[in-house]
Amino acid sequence: MKKVYCIGEVLIDFVAERQGSDLTKANEFTKKAGGAPANVACAISKLGSNGVFIGCVGDDPFGKFLLDTLKNEGVDISLTQLSDTFTTLAFVSLSEDGERDFVFSRGADKELKYNPNLRKNLPGNILHLGAATALLGGPLEKTYAKYLFDGLTKEMFISFDPNFRIDLWKDDEETFIKKCMPFVEKSHLCKFSMEEAQLISGKEDLHEACDVLHKAGTKIITVTLGKDGTLLSMNGTKKVIPSVKVTPVDTTGAGDAFIGCLLYQISDLGNFEPIFEDFSLVENMVATANKAGAITTTNYGAIVALPTKEQLEN
């Protein structure tokens, strides 16, 4: 199987469970490992493939906890960096139906430095750029762009998930859109939520949104629609692939489980050519990824809730 290099943040989620979706009313929090790229690396490794996480944590107990968590899930953490800056934290509140509210306290994730020695290991593998914090400035943003360039020159399969967080961008959505566009233009696969597809494309209709995003450059688009499944768009064909019915308790990490499972399946291909030509192949992959996302919502916490290969096959 090919390696999947996941670049971006890993952080502590302090989760307020069953206390509503309003953080102002939350009193008790449980510590859990999180961060979109780290979740994706764990999803891939938990399914039996080679997830590699590249990010930065603080040289503190929280950072050690995160690295131990990733290592225990089988993720390659050899390229992770340590910083004197404190580990990034997120506070998450969850209502009974699994909806959530976020507040970030940004720390060490922004300190990730580019590692030129990695370039020799990249050819023929997969690059996933799915950080929620990567476009907020600091060394991480420059590093992100350099790895995109490496992915292009080393003929990697490139995946992009913008992971838009309204609290991080407040009234500056236009800057977010502008910074996303080079990644939409250059990535082979883009995974969006419905809101992200509409925001970045400027179109309310999802079919029109996909047309705009394809025109920008990306070949394969998935738009996750929660319980309604995923809209797949490629080669002029669009289809909503249904999900499986579950009773959700926590939607945190469902999108990461989806893209992680999709990349896991792509990593198992002998070469990348079929994925660009065969709609039915990708449709079946998306259906499996939908199941992974759905299973993840049935438990609390992103990483601990990620499915195993056995769960997917049941």
Q: Let me know if domain 3-306 sits in CATH 3.40.1190.20.
A: yes
User: What is the percent of the chain with per-residue pLDDT over 70, rounded to a whole number?
Assistant: 98
Domain ranges of the chain: 3-306
Q: What are the strands, taking DSSP E only, across 166-283?
A: 189-193, 220-224, 230-234, 237-241
pLDDT digit string (tens) for 172-185?
999 999 999 999 99
User: What is the percent of the chain with per-residue pLDDT over 90, rounded to a whole number?
Assistant: 80
Could you tell me which residues come within 8 angstroms of residue 261 by beta carbon, excluding any fewer than 6 positions away? 43, 47, 288, 289, 291, 292, 293, 307, 312
Spatial contact of 162 and 197, defined as CB atoms under 8 Å apart: no
CA 72 to chain centroid, in Å, comes to 19
Residues listed for the chain: 314
pLDDT digit string (tens) for 157-166?
999 999 998 8
Element holding 141 (H helix, E strand)? helix 139-153
The pLDDT value recorded for residue 251 is 84
Task: Reply yes or no on whether the pLDDT at 4 is more than 80.
Answer: yes
